[in-house]
Structure 1
């Protein structure tokens, strides 16, 4: 090897050591930075017969398979957590069987108050307690309905925010694609831009799970798991019109709620559609499926209560168009207007304690002209019989069943409890998968011990190459003195 070859080899080694030390320093400085990927410098032989090394680009240490697996599990976890939050709130609203404020307990309290009133029909306090328990039952249904409605509005707001975030994220990836191309064209290292783009894609992936496809010049295209184009050169544009409030009868099918559009065309938000998975599909599922089904169950219970006591066969003082103990916002119930009934059910003002209460009407009839025999419990027994009678009820989730009022209340809260448990178990499963894939990904991240060892190796390489230059310099001095 000639002296010039030795110098060139040593200089390339020193340059490689310098670049390597910068890369290691960057790794150490960002070891705790979220989203930072470990960098390595590509160093190869300069070629056959050419002394020294060739320094290439800085590369990110990422396994595409592990990255894709982590993104899938993360999207599943985020969606499962959103669904679980809905079922938890609704389950808390209706309560559990042993909860003193649950719908089942309120139903039981009302039934017990009837029994107490039957034992002493002449007792004003017992009739007043019957009014209190009946009002509490109606208010319990009102409260549960309000929670369902609030959760539906929250889902609507979540959809609106997610669509904005999705559009912004896709535009950011489009811009980063362009910046990466420009960086490479100008000879700059785009590794920081690549890392930034991956972080943006991670955020998009939570909303709509994505498949990343490599394109020329380090650009990427994004597709949904169902094959919808999200970004191919240019970003797709999502649109959605949010409502400030949502009433129970408002749906996408009747045109009162907005669906989702992509580049001006409607796209299905079905759980198994082209945008399946992720928090966006979960929010639509809550708004358009889960909340509607929950409202229907509550409305079925409210309807059952009203119809049990609105029957003139139970209270002979009522006509076919009169309201019974429970009313639809003060009026008789219209079977064609069941949607949202749980939010409108109320105690008949004729026996409500917040007005000119005449609780003797529980005993003598809601439309009785005057008080009757204070010891006559016939009507109160008729109320109890009506409450304990089995009626045919049809709901979306329970199907068609023959139940008493108490059984229906218990079945409804049991159904919500079961949905809550199922969704909680789903979160536990998805979080375990997410943690496992995240740990696999983190194993590829920055290990400070390894990086410090790399620094020692880089230092040794630098010293070796510096020693070569020193020796060559001493040889040159010797030759010049001869």
Structure 2
């Protein structure tokens, strides 16, 4: 004999379950604009039917349902789409930082313009041409000196500006590592909270969302790979569990960064207390434990060090290091800023040497042999001239008459002879062996042209990565984000189901009233 109150219990369960669904819908609506929030749903499931199995079970006409219950509250997400999103975010992080660095270099070189090195060189050659026409004119000689100083100043500006860009990149690397280390710690803490909640049979969906936001941020810095574990206890089968995070290297090797509540921290290998400066380069990276201590070899964690060459060209960290400069496996220094500095220094050195060779072969206004025109300011000679220390000799600055504009024999002054000035002006077109048998002008144009090509490539790949990321982001949003229209539809459906269950309780109440108060009263 089934219980008279069985239908009442069935409808009560329906009320509670629809009420839970309404509360969950309200939670979704409240978080419609919350970044990183994934919509949630109540997984409804029928309760065990009546009667149960067994020899003593009563015989009925059929297996009668006993209602519904909320099995779990689950967030809606797709692990595969999340993985795609992080892969594209990783590419975007690299190319955005790369494009920014190249754009900063383009601003420094500032070509074509009326104020860059190319313009200063053109004006210098023109001044030498004028000196060739009037070699005895003091004004023409003064102009040559001033144009030469402008050329040196242009080299200084480029050199110092690139050094400043390098310093800024070094600071940004330090900030990024601190951010990455903070994210690693926060993910490990969330793992610990999740492992505390899940064994009780609950789904900490909001903790999952917060962890995914941090994983998205971490994937911007470097390529990661995830593995999900189990919390044990009474954790639901659909519980996501703690996540293991690995750093993926170029050769496919995986380096563990997070395992449950345990995590490691990034450090720059060989970094001093002074940190990264424009004068040094990144040797590599190593990992330390959460207390900052070196990880001993032979355990489950690999502390490194890891060379920059082992990192794939993905993520903002690798891009910043590629700009700042690093020591490659072969011991050479590579990187966008160091290589550009090397090119500019070589250009300045070869220009100064070629110009000095011609200048010292001529004679000045008094018939004396020409002195070195460009010198190293620090040593006052021609040794180790760079873009940062190239200067016009003080002898020339203090006495423009010492400009060797003439090609006359030594001690035979020829004031009207400007043939050596013409030879100096023609250096604009002369190939120089140290520059690859091209002229100074062509060399600088090549540097600027190559930078422009690299900038276009970086911008194109940034755009492609951004487009792909937006596409995956929209697909992700179509799965996980809150649709107010859908939630309103669900709210109406759950509300109607709640009302129907309440009405069912009223019907059962009337039935019980008839049974209790109406039966056995015949004839009264």
Give the TM-score normalised by structure 2: 0.81
Check conservation: 2:176, 2:317, Cα contact below 8 A. yes
Specify whether residues 73 and 323 from structure 1 end up closer, same or farther in structure 2 by C-alpha distance, changes over 3 A only.
farther
Match of 1:440 in 2: 475
Question: Runs of at least 4 residues of structure 1 off by over 4 A?
Answer: 186-189, 242-245, 368-373
Match of 1:286 in 2: 323
The equivalent position to 2:75 in structure 1, one of 37, 41, 60, is 60
Residue 205 (1) aligns with residue 254 (2):
no
The equivalent position to 1:268 in structure 2, one of 273, 284, 306, is 306
> For residues 125 and 94 of structure 1, what CA distance do their matches in structure 2 show?
30
Secondary structure at the aligned position of 2:382 is classed as coil
Residue 422 (1) aligns with residue 450 (2):
no
- Deviation track 1:53-108 (CA, whole Å, cap 9, x = no partner) reads 12122212111111111111112112111111111111121122x32223222222
Check conservation: 2:72, 2:202, Cα contact below 8 A. no
Query: 275-284 or 37-46, which moves further after superposition?
Result: 275-284
- Deviation track 1:222-268 (CA, whole Å, cap 9, x = no partner) reads 112332211123112221336456345x335xxxxx53111334433
Cα drift, residue 386 of structure 1: 3.6
Cα drift, residue 48 of structure 1: 4.4
Match of 1:223 in 2: 246
- Deviation track 1:134-178 (CA, whole Å, cap 9, x = no partner) reads 222221121111222112112211221122122221111111111
Match of 1:71 in 2: 86
Match of 1:397 in 2: none
Match of 2:41 in 1: 40
Cα drift, residue 379 of structure 1: 2.7
Check conservation: 1:225, 1:276, Cα contact below 8 A. no
Cα drift, residue 5 of structure 1: 2.5
Specify whether residues 373 and 317 from structure 1 end up closer, same or farther in structure 2 by C-alpha distance, changes over 3 A only.
closer
Match of 2:108 in 1: 93
Superposed counterparts of 1:18-167, under 5 Å: 18-49=19-50, 50-96=65-111, 98-167=112-181
> For residues 297 and 76 of structure 1, what CA distance do their matches in structure 2 show?
28
Cα drift, residue 424 of structure 1: 1.3
Specify whether residues 371 and 64 from structure 1 end up closer, same or farther in structure 2 by C-alpha distance, changes over 3 A only.
farther
Query: 218-227 or 118-127, which moves further after superposition?
Result: 118-127
Cα drift, residue 186 of structure 1: 4.3
> For residues 392 and 369 of structure 1, what CA distance do their matches in structure 2 show?
28
> For residues 474 and 238 of structure 1, what CA distance do their matches in structure 2 show?
70
Match of 1:333 in 2: 382
Cα drift, residue 385 of structure 1: 3.6
> For residues 312 and 409 of structure 1, what CA distance do their matches in structure 2 show?
20
State the structure with bigger RCO (CA 8 A, min sep 6), 1 or 2: 1
Give the TM-score normalised by structure 1: 0.88
> For residues 456 and 382 of structure 1, what CA distance do their matches in structure 2 show?
90
> For residues 351 and 268 of structure 1, what CA distance do their matches in structure 2 show?
52
> For residues 380 and 313 of structure 1, what CA distance do their matches in structure 2 show?
8
Cα drift, residue 122 of structure 1: 2.8
Secondary structure at the aligned position of 2:113 is classed as coil
Specify whether residues 300 and 480 from structure 1 end up closer, same or farther in structure 2 by C-alpha distance, changes over 3 A only.
same
Secondary structure at the aligned position of 1:393 is classed as helix
Residue 466 (1) aligns with residue 497 (2):
no
Superposed counterparts of 1:375-386, under 5 Å: 375-386=416-427
Check conservation: 2:396, 2:402, Cα contact below 8 A. yes
Secondary structure at the aligned position of 1:31 is classed as coil
Check conservation: 1:107, 1:409, Cα contact below 8 A. no
Match of 1:343 in 2: 388
Secondary structure at the aligned position of 1:351 is classed as helix
> For residues 28 and 324 of structure 2, what CA distance do their matches in structure 1 show?
44
Superposed counterparts of 1:401-416, under 5 Å: 401-416=436-451
Specify whether residues 147 and 48 from structure 1 end up closer, same or farther in structure 2 by C-alpha distance, changes over 3 A only.
farther
Match of 1:296 in 2: 342
> For residues 198 and 25 of structure 1, what CA distance do their matches in structure 2 show?
22
Task: Specify the structure having the higher radius of gyration (Cα).
Answer: 2
> For residues 312 and 454 of structure 1, what CA distance do their matches in structure 2 show?
87
What are structure 2's unaligned runs of at least 5 residues?
Answer: 51-64, 232-240, 289-293, 295-302, 326-334, 365-369, 519-524
Check conservation: 2:135, 2:141, Cα contact below 8 A. yes
> For residues 90 and 24 of structure 1, what CA distance do their matches in structure 2 show?
52
Match of 1:324 in 2: 372
Specify whether residues 294 and 52 from structure 1 end up closer, same or farther in structure 2 by C-alpha distance, changes over 3 A only.
same
Cα drift, residue 438 of structure 1: 0.9
Check conservation: 1:124, 1:360, Cα contact below 8 A. yes
> For residues 185 and 384 of structure 1, what CA distance do their matches in structure 2 show?
83
- Deviation track 1:177-208 (CA, whole Å, cap 9, x = no partner) reads 11111122345541111111111111111112
> For residues 56 and 370 of structure 1, what CA distance do their matches in structure 2 show?
106
Match of 2:238 in 1: none
Let me know the Cα RMSD of the aligned residues.
Answer: 2.5
The equivalent position to 1:308 in structure 2, one of 334, 354, 372, is 354
Match of 1:238 in 2: 266
